[in-house]
Structure 1
Amino acid sequence: MTVLASAESLLMHKLASLILAACLLLPANVHAWGFTGHEYIGATAYEYLTPQARRWVDSHLQRLDETSLASATTWADRVRGTEEGRFLGPLHFANIPPDEQQIDMQRHCPNRRCVVGAAMNALDVMFDPQANPTAQADELRKFSHWITDLHQPLHLGFARDRGGNDTYVTVDGERINLHRVWDSLIIERKELPAPAQLAAQNPLPESTEDWYEALQLWAEEANHLAREYAYADLEPGDELDSAYLIQAKQVVKEQLTRSAQRMAMIINAAAAANQ
């Protein structure tokens, strides 16, 4: 009986280890925009691409066995729980202190270890005609995620509550953290137009000459939206009323659109730089 019990204990231990390993390979429960939001942005961005840029994107993503730009946007979340995913963890967000209005790359993003710096690192490779094509493809895939994360306001939120993850509110009687409200709940409750329709209704704005400066400005824009609309005057435990949710839906739609447009503008420019 002792031998049997020992063998049984060993078996249970191995089973528990396998279950734990499997769980570590699963994506985390909360991602910026959720998979649906990321894929929607990627699909919409593809609608904005020039024919040249589409060929550039398609050929690069084939190297990584990614079926589309939409699917590529979720990669950085798909690998959460892996060693690479854990290394990339700090690159999904950036924090600007409540008493500051601008991002200081030296203090808030040292060594580019934040979402803004990660996007900049991707640009370094994407715009380099001499870059290895596979490395360029990898950075393109990463960039498609960083640019979408950068537009979710609470990914530019405050460190004190981990971008809303530690602030719990109530929606229709359900206790939920504020980050998830903006990541997924708003999108789940909002009917979005088809990507082609959204792109047709919202032409690309004028391009810029400095994409690095633009990334910082967009991060500060997202932080401003977090302050004004996500955090607003909320206290932990507050019930989010209809006025809050209506305003949040409008902000989310605008940020989804901006994210798709800006992703497309940068990819268009990168593809042109590689010709």
Structure 2
Amino acid sequence: MKRLILTSLCLLFARGAFAWGQKGHDVTAYIAECRLTPEAAEKVRKALDGYSPVYIANWLDFASYWPEYAYSKTWHYLNIDEGETLESMSRNPGGDVLTAVTRLTEKLKSGRLTPEEETLSLKMLIHLVGDMHCPMHLGRLSDLGGNKRPVRFFGRDTNLHSVWDTNIPEAVHKWSYSEWQQQIDRLTDEEAAQIAAGEPADWVKETHEICKEIYGFTPEGTDISYDYLFKYTPVVERQFLRGGHRLARLLNEIYR
């Protein structure tokens, strides 16, 4: 538990290396937390030693650097090159976000995990469902998911991956994670059920289609400014909503 607390403190100073920045994962986790059934909420709280999904939402970005969890470094993304599909692209032998989310969900549903195994699997799942909805985490292997595609963000040199992980979500609204949830999660029960439908493979394919559109609209050297934010703010909001509602659905199914 001390390590968990220290992780949260260190994340205040760590730069996002894998996925949505800290705010994006917090928003996704809080949307999910607000949509849990009372029974699921209590079981999640117990499995997380009293902490909330938001508290541990960024844990895996940090933990993947620790030797004991280094195996999870490739779990944050799934590269699909131009002209390839989820089915045709060779998969990373070390694992990817779809494989990880699928297996973690199955393990948690089995009910055969020790308390320690359950806690670890739950912490990973909360983070990785968020990753699954970050567009550039379905980016091309040829440019490392946009990490090697140079662009400018309001005149500052950066890369396409960083823009989508952190720059856009942090620029479009200066809200806390709870304000994000209050402002964008206004779905009816019917709308919430629709957005949470499907399976992880469907969600990956959906995110990949967004990623392909982003690549086409953002050639190397693009100077991203207000018009780009105006175009893609609804996409960021929609992906947060999708990730949060889908995570809630998985957790409600796991902890019936």
Tell me, yes or no, if the aligned pair for 1:169 and 1:239 is still in contact at 8 Å.
yes
Equivalent residue for 2:4? none
Is residue 41 of structure 2 the alignment partner of residue 54 of structure 1? yes
Is residue 185 of structure 2 the alignment partner of residue 199 of structure 1? yes
For residues 89 and 220 of structure 2, the distance between their equivalents in structure 1, rounded to whole angstroms, comes to: 31
Tell me, yes or no, if the aligned pair for 1:75 and 1:141 is still in contact at 8 Å.
yes
TM-score calculated relative to the size of structure 1: 0.79
Query: How many residues are treated as equivalent by the alignment?
Result: 238
Equivalent residue for 1:124? 106
Match of 1:163 among 145, 150, 155: 145
Equivalent residue for 1:146? 128
Deviations 1:8-40, CA, capped at 9 Å, x for gaps:
xxxxxxxxxxxxxxx9xx845433111111111
Tell me, yes or no, if the aligned pair for 2:20 and 2:165 is still in contact at 8 Å.
yes
Equivalent residue for 1:219? 204
For residues 101 and 79 of structure 2, the distance between their equivalents in structure 1, rounded to whole angstroms, comes to: 15
Match of 1:68 among 52, 57, 64: 52
When residues 82 and 28 of structure 1 are mapped into structure 2, their CA distance, relative to the original with a 3 A threshold, is farther
| Paired letter, 1:271 | Y
Tell me, yes or no, if the aligned pair for 2:40 and 2:252 is still in contact at 8 Å.
yes
Tell me, yes or no, if the aligned pair for 1:32 and 1:149 is still in contact at 8 Å.
yes
Deviations 1:96-137, CA, capped at 9 Å, x for gaps:
12112x3138832547x0010011110121111233232122
Equivalent residue for 1:135? 117
Structure of greater Rg = 1
TM-score calculated relative to the size of structure 2: 0.85
Tell me, yes or no, if the aligned pair for 1:125 and 1:135 is still in contact at 8 Å.
no
Tell me, yes or no, if the aligned pair for 1:60 and 1:137 is still in contact at 8 Å.
yes
Deviations 1:147-200, CA, capped at 9 Å, x for gaps:
000000000010011111111111221111111110111111122544245434
Match of 1:91 among 58, 75, 86: 75
| Paired letter, 1:236 | E
TM-align CA RMSD: 2.2
Is residue 250 of structure 2 the alignment partner of residue 262 of structure 1? no
For residues 139 and 128 of structure 1, the distance between their equivalents in structure 2, rounded to whole angstroms, comes to: 12
How far apart are residue 234 of structure 1 and its match? Answer: 2.9
Is residue 95 of structure 2 the alignment partner of residue 108 of structure 1? no
When residues 240 and 200 of structure 1 are mapped into structure 2, their CA distance, relative to the original with a 3 A threshold, is closer
Segments of structure 2 that go 5 or more residues without pairing to the other structure are: 1-9
Tell me, yes or no, if the aligned pair for 1:170 and 1:176 is still in contact at 8 Å.
yes
For residues 182 and 115 of structure 2, the distance between their equivalents in structure 1, rounded to whole angstroms, comes to: 29
Tell me, yes or no, if the aligned pair for 2:16 and 2:166 is still in contact at 8 Å.
no
| Paired letter, 2:181 | P
When residues 85 and 262 of structure 1 are mapped into structure 2, their CA distance, relative to the original with a 3 A threshold, is same
Equivalent residue for 2:223? 239
